Each structure stands twice: as C-alpha cells, then as structure tokens.
Structure 1
Amino acid sequence: MAVNLVFALTLVGSLAISLAITVPLTGALIRVRANFNPKSIQLDEEGNASAHTGPVITGFFGMLRRVKKIEGWGGLYKGIMPALIETAILTILIGIVLNSDAIRYGGREPDTGVLGSLFYATVALILGLPGVVITYRSITTPYKLAFFRPLHALRVLLTPTERRRPWTIYKTPGLLFARFLHIAYKVGILGLLKSLLLPRMLVDEEGKIVNVSPYKLAIFICISVFSTSILCPLDVISAKLAIQRNHAAPEYNSVNQEVENDDVIPEEYAEYSGSSEDVIGLRNEKDPYVGLYDCFKRVVDEEGWQALYRVWWLTAIAGLGSVLS
C-alpha cells in the first residue's frame, strides 16, 4: 500500500511538473502556427492596396514574450484544463484498461507492428479530435475563460451548432484529413522505414546506440530531418483549421466563425490586462478555409510559403527524438 501511494504521488508530481513546462510552450507553438500574418501589402475587395495592421509575430520565443506581456501568467496557461482532463483520462485508461505497468514506461501504444500502430493512432485521432479542437481554441481565443467553469467555456469556444450536434466538429473542412495524413506519414511511412533500417536498435545503460549499422542510422536520421518539410506544413494547416468554428446559419458559410456567441460575452484578456491589442491575428471570419488544399493555397498566397514552416526546428527536433524511441 505504501509503495503504491509513493508511486501515485510520484506520478502526480511528475505530471504536474510536465504540464507546468509543456503547456506554455505548446500554447506558444499553437499561437505562432495559427496566427494570421499576411504580407504587408494586400489588395482589398475593390483591388486597392492596404497595409496589414495586425500583430507580426512569427518567432516561438517572441510569441512567449508577447503572451506574457498581453495576457500574463494566465494567458501562458490557457489550455491547461483540457490538457489536465486528457492526461487524467489517458492515465486511467493505460493504468486500468491496458496495464498498470504501462504508466511506468511512458504509456506507449502496444507494439503491434506498423499496421497495428497506424490503426491504434487512427483510433486515437478520431477519439481525440474534439479535445484537440477545444484545446486549440481555448489557447487562441482572446476571451478570458474561467478554469473551473467548463460549461461556460464550451459556450464560448463552440457554436450552438457544434454544441447541439458535436459530430459537426468532425466535418470541419480538411481538419481530420490533415491530421490523418500527419499520422499516416509519421506512423506508416516513417515507421515502416525505421522497421526496415533499424529493426533492432537498442540503447545501452550508458546511453550508447548499439546493435545498429551507423550507415543505416545516418540514412534514417536524414529521412527524419527531411520529413520536416512534409510534417511541419501539416501541423500549421491543422492549427489554422482547428480554430475555425462550424456555423450552420443559412446567412453564413457553414464553416464561418460565429458572429454572436449566444449572449455569452466574456471579458477579453486585452481588456483585463489593459492592452489595446490581441496576441494573434485571425483571418476574416466571413472568409474561412474550405478544405486542406484551400488552406494550403491561401496560406502561400496570403502569408507566403515561409508561413508553412513556422517553428520548423521544433518539428525537426521531434523527428530526431523519434529515432531513439
């Protein structure tokens, strides 16, 4: 009993420390990628040139400083409640449904080969998509959400259509497909290549890689780094699509962001902190992306191809980390 209690306290403590570090970093990453940062000069509907006046932030650390300045510590930890709920659910499922020992080893998915892992990841994607949408929106919303009023938060983050018919979230144009392409490439293609090139790679007690050809390891590392050119744009597109709310009102496009919020008018972070600007800019709510390719094309046309590679280095580091996983 004492051992179990110590283990439980250690687990809770490690999870708390992990969330305290990762939530602000994840929030900054999502904001950078979701930020609408068009080229300085654009043409309006009448063909006249107009200068962009919104925030121009494309750097990861610059976004962290901007969030702290405008929204304070509360802004840095926007999205922590969905993260807490997701972590608690996953921990319980891993500990009870799968195997209590799995928690000690990071809660990895069952080792069922490439196809099994792809199936596992696809099921996890489908089940977790609403949580991803809520997390992304709670991070990027300009409104101040109470940590312990989930129903009020959902009224702010979701449209009446999405609350009445939650499955509408799955119809967000291009979102599910973009995230599936991400896991299909990462789990399917990279997983298959790793199983062929590094079938029995091990790391000894001293942290040295053993039982592997250095040439094959170098090839797979190059492939992982090159994969950044594919995975990072999918991450950027997913972030931009996830914050688009589905609205079924006939006078608006079906994916239009909602104009009215069901008489829920929460306080904005900018008003709370005395700032006159929001952390990030968003596209005109009456002109949403209508699919994955449409999002890709508009980002390139409106913001430049560099926008698809925001914080690419973090994607590259994650790819290198997957080599040893």
Structure 2
Amino acid sequence: MLGVGELLFLALTLALSLVVSLLITVPLTGAIVRLRANYNPKALQLDPEGNAHVHTGPIVTGFFGMLRRVYRIEGYAGLYKGIMPTALATIVMTGFAVAAMDSRGLASHSRVDTIDTGFLGTIAAMTFGMLVGLPAAIVTYRAIVTPYKLPSFRPIYALRILLTPTEGRRPWTLYLTPGLLATEMMHILYNVVVLRSFRLLLLSSTFSPFKFGIYLGVEMLSVIITCPLEVMATKLAIQRNHASAEYNSVEQEVEDDAIDAPEYAEYSNQEEDVIGLRHEKDPYLGFVDCFKRIVDEEGWQTLYRAWWVTMLAAIASASAAAAQYQANA
C-alpha cells in the first residue's frame, strides 16, 4: 500500500512527464497531421458549381518544411494547436491505464502483464478503444488544421468552430463520417489478423535473432499497407458532416457554416493558410472513393506522406513485442 507521500510523488512525476511529452510531441504530431491532410491536386478540378478551375494547394512535401511553414504563418501558437484535446485525451487514457494495472504484479515483477484475450477478444478490445478514442482524434485533427484561433479554456466555443451544427446537435454523426470507420477497422484487422499471427508464430516460442529479424521485416513491409490507411484516416477525420435532418451524412448543406472567429494568418499579416483543404461540398463518399480520388487527384505518393513515422512506429512495435516475450519467457 503506497503512502500519501509516495502517491503525491507519483502524481507529480506523471504530471511532469505529461507536460514534457506534450511540449515535444504536439508540434511533431501537428506537422505530420498537416502534411497528410494537405490537399494539393495536380490537375484541373471542378468547383461545387461545376466550373473548371486550377486548384493547387501549398506544395509542402517534407516534415521539416511543414514545421517551418507552420512557424512562419502561425508562430509558436500554431505549433501547439491541438494541445488541449491531446492533453485531455492523454490524461483520460493514462487514468484508464493506471486503473487497469495489477499493483501487486507491478510491485513484485517490476512490469505489467498484458492479458492475452485471444483473436476475437483482441479485435473487440481494439475496436472498443478505437470507438472511444475516435471523437477525440477527430476533434484533435480538426483543431490542428483549422485556420481559426481556438481559445484554450473555452471548449464549448472551440467545439462550435470545429463541429458543424449537425455534429453539435447529433454527436454520433462523427461515427458516420464516410469511410472513416471502415479505414480504422481495416487498420485493426490487419494488425490483429496479419501482424499478430506473425508475432505469435515467430516470437511466442523460443526467441532467436533470426525469427526476430523476420518479424521486424514483416512489420517494416507492413508500412506499404498501414501508411495509406493512416493518411486516409487523417483526411477523412477532418471532413466535416453537414447533414440536414432529411438527408444522410454525405449530403452537404447549401450554405457554409457562419464562423465568426479570427484566423492565425490575420495576426501574422499572412495572406495564406498553412495547408489547403478539400472543399466541404465535395467530400469523399467512402473508403474506396477516398482511395481512388487521392490517387487520381493528388497521386499515389500522397498515400505515403510521412511514411517514415509509420516505419519508426513499426520498428518500435516489433522491439516492444520481442522484449515482452523475452520477459515472459
């Protein structure tokens, strides 16, 4: 049983680590989200009225180039857009993780044993986690890409900017965003069906560097599939739903939302936004439509923006899995 002093020290340590983590990760995450969300078609486009015009968004192909562009147009405040929803989501998830710990196992073995729930149990657990975290991810991504200044301590006002009137009245509409759930479920199924199967086959028995090398190669090659899913999920998450009561979630309202809020560019005397966004009256209609239109309009390379981030995550996942199986051996 931990004493009051130990609990206070643990709480202060967690709070400090959270602050440091947010200071480092929020600008990096923001640059990745903007890079993947940037809409930059390469050919002649049709506007919502059917008129042909050339729509060319900002040409930013690199991570560091995006960081510099964010700082130039929006300053330090722009680098930390999305910090409030990120912090709240992190605190909630950390609370769940701490609550789920087996304190006796933690004290006696210096680690937390994960529960092997089996194939269906793993899918169910990951799906539940995705459904719980999806609204937070949508709000965070939109807070990052919006050109409007959002007050940190006026969440209702900020949500009125980030969400459409339809989404505000019927929050479950966020789950009906065309193609988003399908994209997330494909990501989960690939991780469980393919990667988990290879992990059990290669790492659950006697550990060897050769088997780990094969599994690491599988994780790295999986970037070919998982990176496009992550890019598509980003583009779909920022796509706002304007459904009227008599229409479905794809049907767009006639008038744009009346947003009366200052923009970052106004404060920096810039006449451009950090990224280009697809017109809300011309949305992606689903998973297949999103994939085809990204390839047709922006090129297949768009699906691999910031691929190295997905690669690093794959390497870290393989290393963590190997360490876990070695510890349990």
TM-score by length of 1: 0.88
Cα deviation 1:180-201 (Å, max 9, x = unaligned): 111221233201210111115x
Q: Determine if contact 1:173/1:241 at 8 Å carries over to the other structure.
A: yes
Structure 2 letter corresponding to 1:222: G
Q: Please name the residue that 1:302 is paired with.
A: 297
Q: Please name the residue that 2:200 is paired with.
A: 195
Report the alpha carbon displacement of residue 115 of structure 1 after superposing the two structures with TM: 3.6
Q: Please name the residue that 2:218 is paired with.
A: 223
Report the alpha carbon displacement of residue 253 of structure 1 after superposing the two structures with TM: 7.9
Q: Determine if contact 1:94/1:103 at 8 Å carries over to the other structure.
A: no
| Structure-1 separation of matches of 2:30 and 2:255 | 25
1:42 aligns with 2:47: no
**SS of structure 1 residue aligned to 2:281:** coil
1:5 aligns with 2:8: yes
Q: Please name the residue that 2:275 is paired with.
A: 280
Q: Please name the residue that 2:72 is paired with.
A: 69
Q: Please name the residue that 1:204 is paired with.
A: none
Q: Please name the residue that 1:18 is paired with.
A: 21
Q: Determine if contact 2:102/2:112 at 8 Å carries over to the other structure.
A: no
Q: Please name the residue that 2:30 is paired with.
A: 27
Report the alpha carbon displacement of residue 18 of structure 1 after superposing the two structures with TM: 0.8
Q: Determine if contact 2:45/2:55 at 8 Å carries over to the other structure.
A: no
Where structure 1 has 5 or more consecutive residues not aligned to the other structure, the ranges are: 201-210
Q: Percent identity, aligned pairs only?
A: 54
Q: Please name the residue that 1:86 is paired with.
A: 89
CA RMSD of aligned residues (A): 2.7
Q: Please name the residue that 1:208 is paired with.
A: none
Q: Determine if contact 2:176/2:249 at 8 Å carries over to the other structure.
A: no
| Structure-2 separation of matches of 1:145 and 1:101 | 43
1:175 aligns with 2:180: yes
Closer, same or farther in 2 for the Cα pair 1:318/1:258, shift >3 Å?
farther
Closer, same or farther in 2 for the Cα pair 1:212/1:51, shift >3 Å?
same
Given candidates 312, 315, 318, the residue that maps to 2:313 is 318
Which of 301-310 and 83-92 deviates more? 83-92
**SS of structure 2 residue aligned to 1:9:** helix
**SS of structure 1 residue aligned to 2:227:** helix
Q: Determine if contact 1:162/1:169 at 8 Å carries over to the other structure.
A: yes
| Structure-1 separation of matches of 2:45 and 2:170 | 37
| Structure-1 separation of matches of 2:65 and 2:211 | 38
Q: Determine if contact 1:158/1:245 at 8 Å carries over to the other structure.
A: yes
Structure 2 letter corresponding to 1:42: L
Report the alpha carbon displacement of residue 3 of structure 1 after superposing the two structures with TM: 1.7
| Structure-1 separation of matches of 2:5 and 2:126 | 36
Q: Determine if contact 1:109/1:117 at 8 Å carries over to the other structure.
A: no
Q: Determine if contact 2:177/2:239 at 8 Å carries over to the other structure.
A: yes
Q: Determine if contact 1:159/1:258 at 8 Å carries over to the other structure.
A: no
Which of 185-194 and 160-169 deviates more? 185-194
Structure 1 letter corresponding to 2:301: Q
Q: Determine if contact 2:183/2:287 at 8 Å carries over to the other structure.
A: yes
| Structure-1 separation of matches of 2:144 and 2:128 | 25
| Structure-2 separation of matches of 1:301 and 1:251 | 32
Q: Please name the residue that 1:207 is paired with.
A: none
| Structure-1 separation of matches of 2:95 and 2:188 | 24
Where structure 2 has 5 or more consecutive residues not aligned to the other structure, the ranges are: 321-329
Q: Determine if contact 2:177/2:249 at 8 Å carries over to the other structure.
A: no
| Structure-1 separation of matches of 2:151 and 2:112 | 30
Structure 2 letter corresponding to 1:38: P
Report the alpha carbon displacement of residue 297 of structure 1 after superposing the two structures with TM: 0.2
Cα deviation 1:156-198 (Å, max 9, x = unaligned): 0111111111111111011011011112212332012101111
Q: Determine if contact 1:246/1:254 at 8 Å carries over to the other structure.
A: yes
Q: How many residues are paired up?
A: 313
Q: Determine if contact 2:178/2:249 at 8 Å carries over to the other structure.
A: no
Report the alpha carbon displacement of residue 252 of structure 1 after superposing the two structures with TM: 8.7
Given candidates 128, 144, 154, the residue that maps to 1:139 is 144
Closer, same or farther in 2 for the Cα pair 1:249/1:115, shift >3 Å?
closer
Report the alpha carbon displacement of residue 100 of structure 1 after superposing the two structures with TM: 5.6
Q: Please name the residue that 2:57 is paired with.
A: 54
